[in-house]
Structures are given as structure tokens and as C-alpha cells.
Amino acid sequence: MAKERKSDWHTLSGLPLPLSASSEDASTPLAPAGEAPYTRGIHSTMYRSRLWTMRQYAGFSSAEATNERFKLLLERGQMGLSVAFDLPTQLGLDADDELSYGEVGKVGVSISSVEDMKLLFDGIPLSQVSTSMTINAPAMVLLAMYIVAAEEQGASMADLKGTIQNDILKEYIARGTYVFPPQQSMRLITDIFEFCAEHVPKWNTISISGYHIREAGSTAVQELAFTLANALAYVEAAVSKGMDIDTFAPRLSFFFNCHNDFFEEISKFRAARTLWHDLMADRYNPQNPKSTMLRFHTQVAGVSLTAQQPLNNVARVTIQALAAVIGGTQSLHTNSYDEALGLPTEASATVALRTQQIIAEESGVADTVDPIAGSWHVERLTKTMYDESLKLIETIEHKGGALSAIEEGWQQQEIHLSAYQYLNDVEQQKRNIVGVNYGVMDELEGIPVMKTDAALGQRQTERLNDLKKNRESSSVAHALSKIDMAAKDGTNLFPFVIEAVRARATLGEIMGVLKDEFGTYTAPSGF
């Protein structure tokens, strides 16, 4: 007997879905793509003139192993690089730190010095490739290593194109790889804004991330609202430091999740562009139109992938990638079908890239600008997403802004409640997950799982010992002392961090100086 269909219809985020839409839902005239408020896209021709950047996230084991994967992906048609760092690197620890034991190279590539960074990009011209680095608390140090590695290839800072995530507020909210207290973390971020605006003008100095907020269990509305509220906090911090809005806002970028609810996700991206334009235009009156344009990278939802019947994840990834493209993303990462089991294998990573290429070359969705504009359902959902997200942003502002609300634990608690509700829905079969609580079947073994090198930690420790024996110790000490002085007197830290990297100071040494001055941070218990 056929299963009875549900009677209460809502999106994955809980937004109501009426039985039918009407022309009233699409009654607001839409400006063309490329015109404010950018609901239909930030470029007038969108993918007809240039496809999104296919930027597959990769990083595991050693710099040499990841370098091989980068070259493989570039050879197979990837357009930009995206670096995953291991947990010690994300926390600003060297591979030989006792706290790094057992984690070196496990969930990303191990980078402790500029020599590692040079190996990571060996044979890849950094003046020609666009690189994204998912790094937050030690973002300044890793970008300094990238700059020095590029210099030693013969490239200048002005040549470099790419993005650092550098979004510490979402670490406090959802992800946890913070090191310093919030105020000191904000200082590092605005120092990066200030330095790069003058010296690294093509670099996106922050990727304000809703991805990890959604992975932690938020709804799509919460993802959008919390991300834009964080972005406003960064803008306000830079403006308070005396920076002109148009010197840094055009280089802000965003990073969103794309989950399974196809039309809700498309509407989220459309609402995000419109809401960001309105917030920036109303509050800061920038003169450069690019200051109000929301440019974003998308990664499909890792949390939606199942270990059960993992080949089904190919379908999930395709649906999510298609929604991101129709929603107007500027770059895209497609997850591999085996990521609920382990790091992607070469074969699964290739399938993930080919999924994007099939969408681009065979589906036809890139052949027209905003193909879904005017859909009554999508326009109504876009307006609802805008309105509900704005309400949450206003709630956060009544609490004193994103930073104050984070210190109170408000966003964290809201995400926990949403995640709990979703889990209950799955357990009660109000939401069906194929292979988990619906379409369950006995499974055959046979999906290969990638294993990392257990001996890598020891080899990285030996490499660091060699580096320290062969460098000029007095130059390192002098460079580190200048970082200490700049941390104390408020001078922009970035030039001194670059100088220390050139002298072959390690990640852990530089972060250690900053920890001595700034202290470290532990979130209040209970969230």
C-alpha cells in the first residue's frame, strides 16, 4: 500500500508552502541581472560570458601528496585551487607540537612553515592560479606564507588572486577552531583588510561563511541571517578603524552551503544578494557599486551525505550543485560521494568535478541568465527568506550586534534548537532520508576508503628540526620580537608576520608570540 503523503507542507527550514502560488507572489518588478539590488545576479550576462569557477576543496597528508592532487584536478579541468588544512594547522600549531599528535595530515594538509607552502604549490605558478584557503585563526600567517612562496617563485603581491576564509565569528558560533579572544581576533582581521587593500589588491580578504553554520544544524534562514550579521560586524570594525567602505567592501566575499531543498536554496541565494545590497546601501552609502554586490562561493552540504548507500550521494550532490548554479554562485565545490566514509579518493573526487562539468556543458542551465526568474513559487520564497532573515538580523542587533550575541551564546543556542528539531523530524519520519529511515536495504561492502599516512607526523617533525638547524636563528628572534612589539602598540601586524615568515619562523612560533600578548579563549560552558 502506498505511504500516505504528509498534510503539513514546509521547506526544510520550516517556511510554509501553500498549495499553489499566484501571480501576486511575483508582482514586484525585477531589475535585470547586473543591476541593483542584484536579485537576479551580479553580472548582466552571468554564465553566458564566463562559467563559475570550479574550485574543488582538497588537502590531506603531506604538502607533496596534496600537490599531486592539485595537479590532477587542474589537469582534469578544475579552474581554481582550494586548500584544506589539517586540524593542527587550523589551530596554529606546528606538526611537532605535542597537541598535534595523531592529527597531522588527517583532515587536511600539514603546513608548519613556508617551506611546506612552497612544496604545496611546487610547479604551480601562483601568479596565474586563483587559490582559496580555508583558514581562520592563523589566517594572517598562512597568507604571509603564501605571499612569500609566491615571491620566491618570482611573483609580486599585486599579482596574487584568491581568498582566505578569515571568518572568526562563525568559528565561535559553529566550528570551534578559534584561538584568541574575540576582540583580538577582530584586530587581526582588520589588519589584513588594511594591508591587502594597499598591497594585495586582487585578494579577497575574507570569505564570510554560512557553510559551517548550516553544517552545525541551522536552518537556511538562520544561515543567511547569521552570516550577514557577522559580515556587518566585520564592516563596522573596519569602518571604526578609519577605513573607507569602498577600500575593502568590494573584496568581501561570502561562502554558503547548498542543501537538499532545491527551491529554498535558490531563493536563499537570491535573497542574500538583495538583502546585502539593501543593508550596505542604506547604512554606508558606498560610491562603488561593487561594495554592495554579494559575491559567493558555494559548497554542497557535507552534512547531507550518508554513509548508508553512499553512491546515492551522487544524486544529492547533483541536485545541490544545480541549485547553486541556478542561484547564481561565483564558484562551486562539489563533495565526493564517499565523504561520509573518509577523505575523497582520486576516483570519487573526479566524479565530483565531472558533475560540475556536466551541469555546465550538458544541462543547458548556464545558457541563459537567471532561468528561474518570475517563478511565482521562487519569488514568494525569495521574499519570505529576505523578510525572515532580516528579522533575525534585527534581533541580533538588539543584542548589541553579532559579537555581543556570540559572547552571550545566542546564535549557538538557536542552532542547537534547530538541529534538535531536524533530528526529531528524521527520527519520527516526518523527514525521509533515503538509505537512513526510508529505502533501507542490506548493503554490500566495496566502496574504497582512503587512508592517510600514519607516519607523517614523525616525518613532519624531522623536517621542522632540519629547518630550525639551517635557518639564521638571530633573524628569526629579531622578527618575532617585532611582532611582539606591534601586538603591544597596535601597529598593523601583517608586515612583521611576513618578515618573520621570510626568516623561516614557523606557524607555531608566530602564533606563540601572539598568544603571549593576546591570550587564548575558551567559550563559556553550556553551548
What one-character-per-residue DSSP string does 306-345 give?
-SSSGGGHHHHHHHHHHHHHHTT-SEEE---TTTTTSSPP
- What one-letter code names the amino acid at 107? V
Exposed/middle/buried for residue 307 (C-beta within 10 Å: 0-12, 13-18, 19+): middle
Q: Which pLDDT score, from 0 to 100, does residue 23 have?
A: 75
List C-alpha distances in Å: 123 to 68, 127, 152, 203, 235: 10, 12, 12, 21, 37
Domains and CATH numbers, the chain: 36-427 (3.20.20.240)
Q: What is the dihedral of CA 367, 161, 279, 276, to 10 degrees?
A: 30
Q: Which residues of the chain have pLDDT under 70?
A: 1-7, 27, 524-527
Q: Which pLDDT score, from 0 to 100, does residue 442 have?
A: 87
Interior/surface letters 362-372, b for 16+ CB within 10 angstroms, e for the rest: eeeebeebbeb
Residue appearing with cell numbers 554513509: 307
Rounded Cα distance between 59 and 53, Å, is 18
For residue 214, which of 261, 281, 247 has the smallest C-alpha distance?
261
Q: Which pLDDT score, from 0 to 100, does residue 243 have?
A: 94
pTM metric for this prediction: 0.92
Contacts for 402 with CB less than 8 Å, ≥ 6 apart: 169, 226, 229, 230, 232, 233, 396, 411
The overall average pLDDT reported for the chain is 93
| Contact status, residue 228 vs residue 272, Cβ threshold 8 Å | yes
Q: Which pLDDT score, from 0 to 100, does residue 451 have?
A: 76
